[in-house]
Copies of this chain bind each other. A is one copy, B any other.
Amino acid sequence: MSKIVKTGRTPTSEDVARLAGVSRSAVSRTFTDGASVSPKTREKVMRAADVLGYRVNFLARSLSQQRTRLIGLVVSDMDHSLRGSLVDRLARGLVALDYRPFLLPTNPGDDVGHLIDMMLHYNVSGAIVTSDTPPSQIADACVAHDVPLVLVNKAEVGGKVINVSMDSRKAGRMGAEVLYDAGCRSVAIASQRRASHTIGLRKKAFTAACADLGIEIVGDFQGAIQDYAGGVEAAEAFLASGLAPDAAYCVNDYLALGFLDHIRYTAHMDVPGDLKVAACDDIAEAGWQSYDLTTVRQDPSAIAGAAITALINRIDDPDLPVPPIFIDVALVERNSTRAAPSSL
């Protein structure tokens, strides 16, 4: 690379054209994939561009091409490690395909209207929503403005909106099966009061599977939300009930960890000796030695990959129908459901 000549303002295609002794069109073509330029012209242009440090102005390009390659990423709860991984994979995947992820953070109770406005102001080419709040408002706006939209782990809203989700039903069923195989015939559920689509599905599937297998559900103990504190709260309710089932099914890992800690340190119960525990998600902490939690893994990379593919397909062909996509899950068996007593 040659030495860059510093000028006052950023160089434009005009500057490059002049220096190369060609027209602006020639410059444009040189930087357009699949355009017809003679090797000689291209060479001259490249050299001039290199000298000036020229870069195509994508805003101007977007304006004339009428597509921005900007993708709105609507995200909440980013300090949740699964969310973080998902956003990371989405952003990386999009960048690799020359799309630009535009981050639109939202937390429960936020003004979603502002975010929608922003997406429309910038003419995003598409959007991916993975926030925890019900995205119906965003979905409506996107549909109304023909913005291709993918919902990740959200309820289906119909229309042209694409859904990519983990296989929640399978996840719930697996939770019941692993407990059954560990010899459990009665189980408490630990869940949360805040509504959540995937969690609702896995809980329902878990309950149905229990009915099939002949596992009795002795109660559903809840915390405010599906985090560590929620798990502690659920455990308090569970302990207060005085019930003594074989196992507890926690609707997600964070909740399970709070639940586990509380029954261990407050009630001095042994897991899996006194109570077996299974959960769902497989966050990193579930594998830590203090917890060693049996859970069902959802794969953020696979979900992100599918979401991106689906979105790009929809952008390229707006009329191509895309049925809901479910990403497979996998049982991760650890000590919290070990059949033999832990003093084996």
**Closest chain B residue to A4 by CB distance?**
B144
Given contacts A10-B123, A56-B121, A83-B84, contact A265 B289 (CB under 8 A): yes
Interface size on A, residues (CB 8 A): 56
Quick check: is A92 within 8 A (CB to CB) of the other chain? yes
Quick check: is A95 within 8 A (CB to CB) of the other chain? yes
Interface residues of A in 10-63 (CB under 8 A from B): 10, 53, 55-60, 62-63
A interface: dominant SS = helix
Other-chain contact of A102, B56, B81, B92, B103 (Cβ < 8 Å): B103
**Closest chain B residue to A284 by CB distance?**
B228
How far apart are A158's CB and chain B's nearest CB, in angstroms?
A: 19
Number of copies: 2
Of A72-80, A168-176, A182-190, A318-326, the one with at least 4 CB within 8 A of chain B = A72-80
Asked if B95 and A105 sit within 8 Å, CB to CB, the answer is yes
Quick check: is A104 within 8 A (CB to CB) of the other chain? yes
Assembly CA distance A115 to B10 (angstroms): 18
Asked if B10 and A145 sit within 8 Å, CB to CB, the answer is yes
Asked if B55 and A117 sit within 8 Å, CB to CB, the answer is yes
A residues contacting B by CB (< 8 A) are 4, 10, 53, 55-60, 62-63, 68, 73, 78-85, 87-88, 91-92, 95, 100-105, 107, 114-115, 117-118, 120-123, 144-145, 228, 257-258, 261-262, 264-265, 284-285, 288-291
In the A-B complex, the 7 residue pairs with the closest CB atoms: A261-B289, A79-B84, A78-B88, A290-B290, A91-B105, A84-B84, A78-B84
